[in-house]
Amino acid sequence: MLNLEGDLPGLLRSLIDIESVSGNEQRITDEVETALSAYPHLKVIRDGNVLIARTELGRRERVVIGGHLDTVPIADNVPATITGEGDDLIVHGRGACDMKGGVAVQLSAAAALTEPNRDLTWIFYDNEEVEADRNGLFRITRERPELLAADFAVLGEPTNAGIEGGCQGTMRVAVTFTGIAAHSARSWRGHNAIHDANGLLRRLADHQAREIEVDGLVYREGLNAVRIDGGIAGNVIPDRCRVLINYRFAPDKDVAGAEAYVREVLAPYDLEVVDAAPGARPGLDRPIAADFAAAVGGTPGPKFGWTDVARFATLGVPAVNYGPGDPNKAHTDDEFCPAADLERCRAGFLAWLG
Amino acid sequence: MLNLEGDLPGLLRSLIDIESVSGNEQRITDEVETALSAYPHLKVIRDGNVLIARTELGRRERVVIGGHLDTVPIADNVPATITGEGDDLIVHGRGACDMKGGVAVQLSAAAALTEPNRDLTWIFYDNEEVEADRNGLFRITRERPELLAADFAVLGEPTNAGIEGGCQGTMRVAVTFTGIAAHSARSWRGHNAIHDANGLLRRLADHQAREIEVDGLVYREGLNAVRIDGGIAGNVIPDRCRVLINYRFAPDKDVAGAEAYVREVLAPYDLEVVDAAPGARPGLDRPIAADFAAAVGGTPGPKFGWTDVARFATLGVPAVNYGPGDPNKAHTDDEFCPAADLERCRAGFLAWLG
């Protein structure tokens, strides 16, 4: 059984040793359910492999704090190992960084915060590392959104134990150039679709990405070709060339606003929107967030990258990312989490909510 | 047994019905060997699945005439079928165009020309439709070049029964752009290799291909991107983009000259030569070629495309393409050969060499 009142590295180690690659979260969810059910201040709700634990103290405000229980596939990095000691102790293994470190902190804080100053909703969910329609948090936002009602949300993805507000939105658009195929020995009979891409690539190369302030944080955007494909054989004039472009946009606009901007910047090229996900405003201009920032210390920054905080945004709940570990180590075979980050994040939650 | 003295459509039909996809030329070579061995004016030499039949009459000049026996794979187009009649008769089936029609003409002419005005070397070979190092003609040029010594060569690939002189050379070069990978949400930490390709594509789009006269024929060149690849995922700034470029060059220059030209035109881009094959001069300024052109009639044109005539060029033998069928039907599932083309080509050989 998980010990939520022992040392954090030990708890993280136990979590890593319960293999929970996406789709295989049954056992870890069972363990989390058993551990949290031992605390009478928490009302525990199980829904598939999503586990929710709530305080119901009638506080004026409610905060939802959560993280995913699944990991990307194992790469000879389970069970966990420990190196160093004291302030330099580090836990290594699959999920140490993304994001069982955050889960360990949250479980420990959930047990400790028996009388929080705001009501708390802890949520642990499955299938974050795979297609969106399997995502447990996404499922709950559709099927039981009332369980997620709150004034503010915190997601425990790794942020080096600092606050990263909101997230960028992301949209992928494709531009397809169509030419006329011909034998390359008689190229004048064809029309080269790859050559036609030059102007679009030039436009992208010259594009100056904007920096946009939202709720006090400055989000830097990006508009980039991420893939190009053209040509079918070494002796054929290509009749097709496709450029896939990724637009990362500040959370001042929704998906429709993002699409309008890309169409304007890349006109007259004919764009096809391939997929899109909205961003999330950080909500750091709210008092509850200011309290959080003061308790945690440091200067909040914007989140560059799309995370599940955007799922809270769709419910109208501003959200930030706050968790132990270096985000650059996520998904790497040698991912790890410093014990100091675990302690700092736990202390942050207790200072803010205790 | 093949009947070399009957009607040409019947002979072509027999050849089509002997399946001879590249690598499976044993039986058709056996049949050709048996048929030609019946003629005492021919000295027959078998070397693997290459069959050579020579006259040795001590003539002042020698002409080598040849074609390949293999085809691309069958596509429900064997056995052969006949449509139309008289002047409109057409033979359909795999190889009808590329190039059993040419082989039928050559076999018929080889049997008929018992007292040619020049010595003749007929050559039928395997594996033309696959990698160059399996090509039977290429093998003989390396292992027994003395068998191919001649003043002039004719290859029977389809030319609509006209003379197409020499052939273009071909060279493929690659330009690889190297950037710095980064998450596309933090694109400023990377450098986009796809964007960097814009200037090269612009250069290719703007390039004006040259027209160059060689031995009285005008060869039109071509410089084209034939493939582009870049990017590894929809959320990663691409650190690599590769453009493959095909240069089709007039036979006024060799491979080194072609490389120098591409480097000059595309400077300062760093080129890697992927592969190259020299072209072949048409030699149409020689009296033997003028005789051929006069006997065949019509106006010789340049060959756009690389063919095995270049293998004769490497031996110092000028060469032209001359065969029945429309080259645009080569490799198509509905390839065919008009009987009129067969008769015209046979008459051309007899008029020139009889």
Whether the bond between A268 and the residue before it is cis, its omega within 30 degrees of 0, is yes
Q: How far is B303 from chain A (nearest CA, A)?
A: 9
Mean pLDDT of all residues in A50-54: 98
The beta-carbon neighbor of A224 closest among B184, B224, B306 is: B184
Q: Which residues of A touch B205 (CB under 8 A)?
A: 192, 195-196, 198
Q: What is the pLDDT of residue B235?
A: 84
Q: Which residues of B are catalytic?
A: 70, 128
Give residue B183's pLDDT band: very low, low, confident or very high (50, 70, 90): confident
A163-189: b (≥16 Cβ within 10 Å) or e: bbbbbbbbbbbebbbebebbbbbbbee
Q: Which residues of A touch B183 (CB under 8 A)?
A: 304-305
Q: Residue B222 and residue A197: Cβ atoms within 8 Å? A: no
Give residue B21's pLDDT band: very low, low, confident or very high (50, 70, 90): very high
Mean pLDDT of all residues in B173-196: 94
Mutate to test the interface with B, among A184, A191, A248 (most CBs of B within 10 A): A184
SS3 at position A21: strand
Whether residue B43 is predicted with pLDDT greater than 90 in this model: the reply is: yes
Which residue of chain A has the CA closest to B226?
A: A231
Residue A298 falls in which region: left (phi positive, over 0), alpha (psi -120 to 50) or beta: left
Q: Residue B226 and residue A184: Cβ atoms within 8 Å? A: yes
Give, in order, the Cα–Cα distances in Å from B167 to each of A265, B277, B306: 46, 11, 6
Structure tokens, A114: 């028996």
Q: What is the pLDDT of residue A37?
A: 98
Catalytic residue among A25, A98, A126, A128: A128
Q: From the centroid of its chain, how far is CA B19?
A: 21
Q: How far apart are CA B324 and CA B154, in angstroms?
A: 13
Q: Residue B226 and residue A248: Cβ atoms within 8 Å? A: no
Q: What is the pLDDT of residue A38?
A: 97
Q: Which residues of A touch B172 (CB under 8 A)?
A: 234
Return the beta strands (E) in chain A as ranges: 43-47, 50-54, 62-68, 81-83, 90-92, 119-125, 152-155, 163-165, 169-178, 182-183, 211-214, 217-220, 222-230, 236-237, 240-249, 272-277, 301-302, 319-322, 336-338
Residue A297 falls in which region: left (phi positive, over 0), alpha (psi -120 to 50) or beta: left
SS3 at position A68: strand
Residue with tokens 């165009």: B97
Residue type at position B79: P
Whether residue A53 is predicted with pLDDT greater than 90 in this model: the reply is: yes
Q: Residue A196 and residue B187: Cβ atoms within 8 Å? A: no
Q: Specify burial of residue B235 (Cβ count, 10 A radius: 0-12, 13-18, 19+).
A: middle
Question: Would you list the DSSP string of B285-330?
Answer: TSHHHHHHHHHH-S--EE--S--THHHHHTTT--EEE--SS-GGGT
Please give the DSSP secondary-structure letter assigned to residue B3.
-
Q: How far is A107 from chain B (nearest CA, A)?
A: 30
Q: What is the pLDDT of residues A274-333, one digit of tens each?
A: 999 889 888 888 888 889 999 988 889 888 888 899 899 888 898 899 999 998 888 888
Mutate to test the interface with A, among B180, B226, B239 (most CBs of A within 10 A): B226
Q: What is the pLDDT of residue A112?
A: 98
Q: Which residues of A touch B185 (CB under 8 A)?
A: 168, 170, 222, 248, 304-306
Please give the DSSP secondary-structure letter assigned to residue A12.
H
Mean pLDDT of all residues in A53-81: 96
Q: What length is written for chain A?
A: 354
Q: Which residues of A touch B306 (CB under 8 A)?
A: 185
B138-173: b (≥16 Cβ within 10 Å) or e: bbbbeeeeebbebbbbbbbbbbbbbbbbbbbbbbbb
Q: Are strands B152-155 and B319-321 parallel, antiparallel or unpaired?
A: parallel
Q: Specify burial of residue A207 (Cβ count, 10 A radius: 0-12, 13-18, 19+).
A: middle
Q: What length is written for chain B?
A: 354
Please give the DSSP secondary-structure letter assigned to residue A133.
G
Question: How many other β-carbons are positioned within 10 Å of the β-carbon of residue B268?
Answer: 5
Q: Tell me if A277 sits within 8 A of A169, measured CB to CB.
A: yes
Q: Which domains does chain A have, with CATH numbers?
A: 8-167+280-353 (3.40.630.10), 169-277 (3.30.70.360)
The beta-carbon neighbor of B224 closest among A187, A228, A305 is: A187
Mutate to test the interface with A, among B194, B219, B275 (most CBs of A within 10 A): B194
Give residue B133's pLDDT band: very low, low, confident or very high (50, 70, 90): confident
Instruction: Give the closest residue to A351 by CA, choosing from A37, A113, A139.
Output: A113
Q: Tell me if B172 sits within 8 A of B335, measured CB to CB.
A: no
Of residues B313 and A204, more confidence is placed in A204
Q: Which residues of B touch A258 (CB under 8 A)?
A: none
Q: From the DSSP assignment, how many helices (H) and strands (E) are in chain A?
A: 10, 19
Mean pLDDT of all residues in A32-50: 98
Q: Residue B187 and residue A170: Cβ atoms within 8 Å? A: no
Whether residue A235 is predicted with pLDDT greater than 90 in this model: the reply is: no
Q: How far is A325 from chain B (nearest CA, A)?
A: 18
Give residue B325's pLDDT band: very low, low, confident or very high (50, 70, 90): very high
SS3 at position A131: coil
Strand order of the sheet with strand B119-125?
Answer: B43-47, B50-54, B119-125, B62-68, B152-155, B319-321, B164-165, B301-302
The beta-carbon neighbor of B184 closest among A187, A205, A222 is: A222
- Interface A–B counts its CB contacts (< 8 A) at 160
Structure tokens, B86: 């008289």
pLDDT above 70 covers what percent of chain B?
100
Q: From the centroid of its chain, how far is CA A63?
A: 18
Mean per-residue pLDDT over chain A, rounded: 94
What ipTM did this prediction achieve? 0.81
